[in-house]
Amino acid sequence: MKRREFLRSVGIGSASLLIPPTIFALSKNKKPGGARPNILYIMADDHDANFVGSYKSWIKEYVDTPTIDKLAAEGARLTNCFCTNSLCAPSRATIISGKYSHKSGVYTLREDMNTSGWNTLPVVMKNAGYQTAAVGKWHVHGDNMHGLDYYSLTRTSQGRYINPSMSTPDGKRNEEGHSSDVYTNISLEWLEKRDKTKPFFLMHHFKAAHGPWQYAPRYEKLYADIDIPEPPTLHDDYSNRFEGGIGIKKSKIFSTDGSGSLSTRMQGLNKKGEVADWPTGNLDVSGMSDSEIKKATYQKYVKDYLRCVKGIDDNVLRLIEYLEHEGILDDTLIIYTSDQGMYVGEHGFYDKRLGLDEGMRMPFIARYPKEIQAGIVLDDIVNNVDFPETMIDYAGAEIPADMQGFSFRKNLREDPKAHQRSATFYAFYSSGTPRHYGIRTKQHKLLKYMGKDGSVIGQDLFDMVNDPNELRSVLNDKSYSKILTELEQQLAEEMKAIDLTEKDLPGRWKAPARKVKPKKKKKKNKQKKS
């Protein structure tokens, strides 16, 4: 295939999309690689690790992610990678800054992060001689684009699935097509036009698979005539745990009163009960029992979600095919992850916003054959605070002293001298579920739920080995009393290590007052004299 024909096939200079039928192979035309790789950081939105085929979950036979699975087969897959605050803006702010929420200043979806003078991930990469770019969903308020040579982003919002409007250095740019395809077109365009004498650092951020799960039309018939298996915890009744904790989460697949119910939204009713069409068609529940409505809602949800995931995988393939065609595939560190986990029916939930593993766990896959052995599966604990330091380490740059994580580059090459986290800290400050915080080790998890007055109102302790679905709290089981004491001590030590004080805890941290925009006075219509 001639170069011009290839570039058209992967979307450069064209709105068309051609998905190559073959999976990528190791680059046959490798250019001599230096010590520093190019870095392609691919981040999906709300991608539940269970919905990546290589993670071999209960849904694996129905997940169509051959490209991402191939990355895992030719690189490393992490099974204990966690976010520290399962919400879009806080997680993204952490990855940009290398700081926990109480240091980045982004606790919920509302706060600004102004990074002028900060050594953020893009700034460090640019100063290290990399050409830098970010494409897709950004969703962090404030002045924080420093260090990017180029960007095309949905700056402070989710952005549209169809025909997204992008912010660029030259102003707004309106695009046509599905966001997953559009973002990939833009990244490919930038890769083709970049300064090829420099290594590149590209952050490619999908909007998918965030709600409302509006897939590209070409996937409409995918999964149309089959029933998708239900997660083993779909019908969780939330017993055997603190009654004011997990069961209070609002984002349920179905609730009898309709509050926070995905079923209600998919029927085409908004929060006020008014009619509003669902993007992928309304769900007809006529004549169904409550149980049948829940099952039908799950089927629609999971199929829409899987179709969005398929669109991600196909576009990851387009990026990889380009690298292979350029002869730089093996000179590029490719990372695939998500901004946090997601509930796709597990525990009867959708959305994230809760420190059970489906909300905390992030898929993380890395391919760089010059250093990472093929097929590695690591259970080392890492979290998203560690991401920027790891990429900076690969770039051969100095890690800023105020970043709060650890590089896990040595872990990815199974170096016995690699840093090993014994636990990871988690805190949730926003709405939709009780504010809570806690600690996760390989064996156990402790969650503390906070009241409106900032006091701890309840706790759950989970045995993650014997109860990986977190269905029974063993907090009051006397045989776990020693473990509880040890976890309390670990939690205190972790808070001290990350400089998190009692006033910074969820339920005690006070959000700054929001600026209220003055209402515009309505102009009175003056009648013209006849």
Each residue of 370-429: pLDDT tens digit? Answer: 999 999 999 999 999 999 999 999 999 999 999 999 999 999 999 999 999 999 999 999
Q: Tell me: the pLDDT tens digits for 478-517?
A: 999 999 999 999 999 999 999 999 999 999 998 777 665 5
Distance CA 500, CA 270 (A): 39
- Which region among 22-31, 172-181, 276-285, 476-485 has the lowest average model confidence (pLDDT)? 22-31
Q: What is the domain extent for residue 444?
A: 425-504
**24 pLDDT higher than 80:** no
Contact 174, 163 (CB under 8 A): yes
Q: What is the mean pLDDT of the chain?
A: 91
Instruction: Supply the DSSP symbol for 397.
Output: P
Amino acid at 6: F
Q: What DSSP line would sit under 325-376, residue for residue? A: HHT-GGGEEEEEEESS---SSGGGB-S--S-SHHHHB--EEEE-TTTSPTTE
The pLDDT, as a whole number, for residue 528 is 38
469 assigned to some structural domain: yes
The pLDDT, as a whole number, for residue 273 is 65
474 assigned to some structural domain: yes
Confidence of residue 520 (pLDDT cuts 50, 70, 90): low
**521 pLDDT higher than 70:** no
The pLDDT, as a whole number, for residue 272 is 67
Distance CA 156, CA 165 (A): 12
Q: Tell me: the pLDDT tens digits for 426-438?
A: 999 999 999 999 9
Q: Which long-range CB contacts under 8 A does 391-394 form with residues at least 24 apart?
A: 391/39, 391/41, 391/121, 391/125, 391/201, 391/333, 391/335, 392/121, 392/124, 392/125, 392/128, 394/36, 394/37, 394/39, 394/333, 394/368
450 assigned to some structural domain: yes
47 assigned to some structural domain: no
- Which region among 51-65, 269-283, 417-431 has the lowest average model confidence (pLDDT)? 269-283
Q: Tell me: the pLDDT tens digits for 113-140?
A: 999 999 999 999 999 999 999 999 999 9
The pLDDT, as a whole number, for residue 257 is 84
436 assigned to some structural domain: yes
**32 pLDDT higher than 50:** no
Per the structure, the count of domains in the chain is: 1
**18 pLDDT higher than 60:** no
Amino acid at 521: K
**11 pLDDT higher than 60:** no
Q: What percent of the chain has pLDDT over 70?
A: 90
Q: What is the CATH number of the domain that holds 469?
A: 3.30.1120.10
Rounded mean pLDDT, 442-448: 98
480 assigned to some structural domain: yes
493 assigned to some structural domain: yes
Rounded mean pLDDT, 164-179: 96
Q: Tell me: the pLDDT tens digits for 308-360?
A: 999 999 999 999 999 999 999 999 999 999 999 999 999 999 999 999 999 99
150 assigned to some structural domain: no
Q: Tell me: the pLDDT tens digits for 137-156?
A: 999 999 999 999 999 999 87
Find tokens 């009241």 and name the residue: 451
Rounded mean pLDDT, 74-100: 98
- Which region among 143-157, 254-268, 284-298, 377-391 has the lowest average model confidence (pLDDT)? 254-268
Token digits of residue 16: 């068309």
**14 pLDDT higher than 70:** no
Confidence of residue 9 (pLDDT cuts 50, 70, 90): low
